[in-house]
């Protein structure tokens, strides 16, 4: 993933957290996780997030507000 795609994705998802001061991000080997948002992500933003290379494990082009967003580094 390119830095520009990562930054744009994080900017989009940040609108859906109540506060940016919480612990909303995690990492594992080669994956960055953005934990589930506080508010559901709008469809147009989901589509853009997928275009940027983010995904939800096991949810191809479906959105589950209870699941985290992930991207490979």
How much is the pLDDT for 73? Answer: 84
20-70 confidence digits (pLDDT tens): 887 788 888 899 999 999 999 999 999 999 999 999 988 666 899 999 999
Cβ 32 vs Cβ 70: under 8 Å: yes
How much is the pLDDT for 23? Answer: 76
Question: CA geometry: angle at 3 spanning 42 and 28, to 5°?
Answer: 80
Number of structural domains, the chain? 1
Domain that holds residue 19: 3-72
How much is the pLDDT for 22? Answer: 78
Q: How far apart are CA 50 and CA 54, in angstroms?
A: 5
């Amino acid at each position: 993933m390119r830095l520009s795609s990562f930054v744009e994705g994080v900017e989009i998802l940040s609108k859906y957290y109540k506060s940016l001061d919480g612990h909303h991000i995690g990492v594992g080997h080669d994956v960055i996780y953005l934990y589930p948002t506080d508010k559901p992500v709008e469809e147009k933003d989901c589509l853009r997030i997928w275009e940027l290379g983010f995904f939800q494990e096991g949810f191809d082009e479906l959105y589950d507000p209870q699941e985290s967003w992930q991207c490979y580094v």
